[in-house]
Amino acid sequence: MRSQLPILVTVLMLAGCASQPREPVLRDAAGGRLAQVDMAVCSQVSVDPERKVGKKERLAELRMALGAGYMRKGALDVALQELEKSLELNPRSAEAHATMALLMLRLDKPDQAGQHYVRALQLAPSDPEIRNNYGVYLCNQGHARAADAQFRCAIANPLYRTPAMAYTNAAECALRHGDAPRAEIDLQTAAQIDPGYAMASLMLADLSMDKGDAGTARRHLSRYMRHAGQTPAGLALGVRVETALGDLDRAASYRLLLKNRFPDSREAQELN
């Protein structure tokens, strides 16, 4: 099981500061700029409840929300129109740039996505959700070390609501690039700080199976199923775990559940 990194399409809580230290400029193989990390900036929190939002900004936020909604529904052409209008109304919206980055990825335009992420972080350098999503983007583009720095930056923000997700994303990226020990540490941290974050438990179970420790895998898988319920990935892993432990009746039960409940899933097809 090596799943695609989870990417959030959420309302991003902006926490940028008006004046920030300049970060060194690094570029990818194609010459595109990569946003860098200043850990002193990552942990900064700036809240200005008295800031007045003008009519154009409110309209820009509305168009951005519409664009995100259309993107979730798969109407990418309409989403593009709405997000372009949002940025036309307020080109300094970090949230709109970050949402546009997600849309560019859906449209298979990774270079443009990277440009929007960089701009979003120029505008809101301490926003943890943008940092996390940018880390996912960098890992998918093959920049593992740069991605890890973005995940650590997100985690450093004391107001970040889902640090377990960033730890799990960092672990997934480490696994993709052959660093299983680092991944296991991050997954254990994720499971410790948020036992209800099921993905970390599933990945720990998978790692345990890779190490030949089916007993530990069973414990992690049990915790995963308590929180996530029965899923194709969990049931398929259950077949492997119980087969390795010699409990063939339990393995057969998992296999039957997978075929009956999720017959069209990739996992069910692979069992045939």
Percent of the chain with pLDDT over 70: 86
From the list 205, 32, 10, the residue with the least C-alpha distance to 114 is: 32
Q: What domains can you pick out in the chain, each with its CATH number?
A: 1-161 (1.25.40.10), 195-272 (1.25.40.10)
Give the pLDDT of residue 271: 83
The C-alpha atoms of residue 187 and residue 151 are separated, in whole angstroms, by 13
From the list 207, 129, 222, the residue with the least C-alpha distance to 174 is: 207
For the segment 114-123, the average pLDDT, to the nearest whole number, is 96
Give the pLDDT of residue 17: 30
Judged against a pLDDT cut of 80, whether residue 53 lies above it is answered with no
The C-alpha atoms of residue 196 and residue 267 are separated, in whole angstroms, by 24
Crossing angle for the helix pair 128-140 and 163-176, nearest 10 degrees? Answer: 10
The C-alpha atoms of residue 36 and residue 73 are separated, in whole angstroms, by 32
Cross-strand partners of 27: 33
Crossing angle for the helix pair 232-245 and 214-228, nearest 10 degrees? Answer: 150
What is the sign of the dihedral through the CA atoms of 52, 57, 63 and 68?
negative
Torsion angle of C-alpha atoms 103, 147, 122, 164, degrees rounded to 10? 80
Exposure of 132 in the CB half-sphere (CA atoms within 13 A): 27
pTM for the predicted model, two decimal places? 0.84
Exposure of 124 in the CB half-sphere (CA atoms within 13 A): 27
The C-alpha atoms of residue 138 and residue 116 are separated, in whole angstroms, by 13
Pick the range with the lowest mean pLDDT from 20-34, 81-95, 133-147, 194-208: 20-34
Residue 115, SS3 per DSSP: helix
Contact between 164 and 197 (Cβ < 8 Å): yes
Judged against a pLDDT cut of 60, whether residue 18 lies above it is answered with no
For the segment 24-30, the average pLDDT, to the nearest whole number, is 45
For tokens 């993107």, name the residue: 71
The C-alpha atoms of residue 62 and residue 67 are separated, in whole angstroms, by 9
More confident residue, 214 or 27: 214
The C-alpha atoms of residue 159 and residue 128 are separated, in whole angstroms, by 8
| Digit-coded pLDDT (tens) for 154-172 | 999 999 999 999 999 999 9
Mean model confidence pLDDT for the chain? 88
Structure tokens at 128: 């943890």
* DSSP-derived pairing of the beta strands 33-34 and 26-27: antiparallel
For residue 47, with 0-12 CB atoms within 10 Å meaning exposed, 13-18 middle and 19 or more buried, which class applies? exposed
Judged against a pLDDT cut of 90, whether residue 76 lies above it is answered with yes
14 phi, psi to nearest 5 deg = -75, 135
140 phi, psi to nearest 5 deg = -65, -20
